[in-house]
Amino acid sequence: MDWIEDQIEWSADGNKVAIGLTRFGAGKSLLLLPALSSISTHTEMRSLQERLGTSFATTAIDWPGFGTLPRPKADWRPELYRAFLRFVISAVQPAATITARLAGLAHRAELAPDPAPAE
């Protein structure tokens, strides 16, 4: 399977915004969103994409204004992020969406020791 590093363009208040993403895998589409944080990028989802990509077509995407691409001047507010989410869901048409917070919980659960057997 090939990793595809790509960009999509979205408009925030009339300003074009380039948004980084990675595609990997084949099958039903999954959308992977990193934490909404100034230090989070779609690349933090890579290990999850590696695992899920064996069964699903994964798309990990940056939030607009985050990631490594230039952040245009805009009034970044909740309505813009909701509009972006509608846009990306329409573009990717995922069967499911996984956020970094949920992925982190799954990762922690995987690393947790097995519970002691019941007596």
Torsion sign over Cα 45, 94, 61, 100: negative
Distance CA 106, CA 73 (A): 35
Distance set, CA 75 to CA 11, 17, 64, 68 (Å): 12, 13, 12, 19
17-73: per-residue pLDDT in tens? 999 999 999 999 999 988 877 678 898 889 999 999 999 999 999 999 888 888 888
Q: Evaluate whether 19 touches 64 at the Cβ level (below 8 Å).
A: yes
pTM over 0.85: no
62-116: per-residue pLDDT in tens? 999 888 888 888 888 888 988 998 899 888 888 877 776 544 444 333 434 444 5
